[in-house]
Structure 1
């Protein structure tokens, strides 16, 4: 049997531990000793993979309470831990020349909760409340940045914020890279004003136009992001948004992108070891 996906591997922990904020020790009233961060992270991953509610987190597995795990997830996201971990993983992939900067791909399917912040009536789903995951990947489907908005936000409005959210990726000689050579998107991003702004950033837009017949050939490159969304929504906590608080759901999104990027790096290491 394979290892449970919520067990934190040594490779992931070695990259993550230096990024975690250090808690100050109280000498006068130390209180109860806090749970180790690694065990709490296992609890967070358990919720992310299984979609279980926080209050039903199994206590016998040593994760601690759901309140503790949710609080640490929130605090680590506010401290920028997931963003920095993602940058570390991207830099390692970039050092091995395994990031495809020749193109990037964007898309934004809708997720449907009933209520909460960052939700809105979807114009394509009978006005039901929902959110959107806006994702941009490299040519291999590795997540570069992710955003969360309400379900009634037009896809094209998040195109430039997604490009600007790509972090400076180190790992190679010279200046860190932030811009791909070209950008692929479907008809939801068809707008000449945005095409011009993409070109101003030195990126060639390859965006399908409305009213044209299918079979333009863009699907040859866009299927990568469809696979990336399948990976992302393979985490059951992200398939349906249960959190009312947007910061908790966003933290899960960023953590999931880190795990997907680490898988890409792990598959690279397996190929090299062969």
Structure 2
């Protein structure tokens, strides 16, 4: 989803002001591009790995900023402001799904207690 200048002006105050650029390290990515990448992933239902490299910043940068904004509570407010300005029902559904999914943990591995123990062969030292 591409943001117009009016939409960006509406949500830009919620995002932290840019840091001063030091002479070391990479130049920071513009927050507008990062937000567009986040919205593309969330509205398309794709995984972060599928973020188009030619159109958006790197997936790790988008995801890292997404996590920062979630921890600070910025992202739900961004979605609400965009929804009230555009009236796009996909943003409201995304906000509701996002808020509902915050409390459900994702199990990626088996519990330790449910793993089968491997048989250990006795060792002879002679």
Give the structure-1-normalised TM-score.
Answer: 0.30
Q: Which has the higher contact order (CA 8 A, sep 6+)?
A: 2
Q: Distance in 2 between matches of 1:47 and 1:89?
A: 16
C-alpha deviations, 1:75-119, integer Å up to 9, x for none? 1122221344466579x79xxxxxxxxxxxxxxxxxxxxxxxxxx
Task: Answer yes or no: is 1:65 the counterpart of 2:28.
Answer: no
Identify the residue that residue 53 of structure 1 maps to in structure 2.
47
SS of aligned partner of 1:31: coil
Q: Structure 1: any 5+ residue segments left out of the alignment?
A: 1-5, 94-134, 136-145, 151-242, 246-274
SS of aligned partner of 1:59: coil
Q: Distance in 2 between matches of 1:74 and 1:81?
A: 10
Equivalent runs, 1:197-236 vs 2, <5 Å = none
Q: Which runs of 4+ in 1 moved over 3 A?
A: 83-90, 146-150
Task: Answer yes or no: is 1:11 the counterpart of 2:2.
Answer: no
Q: Residues 55 and 65 of structure 1 are in contact (CA less than 8 Å); yes or no, is this contact kept in structure 2?
A: no
Q: Residues 69 and 75 of structure 2 are in contact (CA less than 8 Å); yes or no, is this contact kept in structure 1?
A: yes
Could you say which structure has the higher strand fraction?
Answer: 1
Identify the residue that residue 100 of structure 2 maps to in structure 1.
147
Q: Structure 2: any 5+ residue segments left out of the alignment?
A: 86-95, 108-126
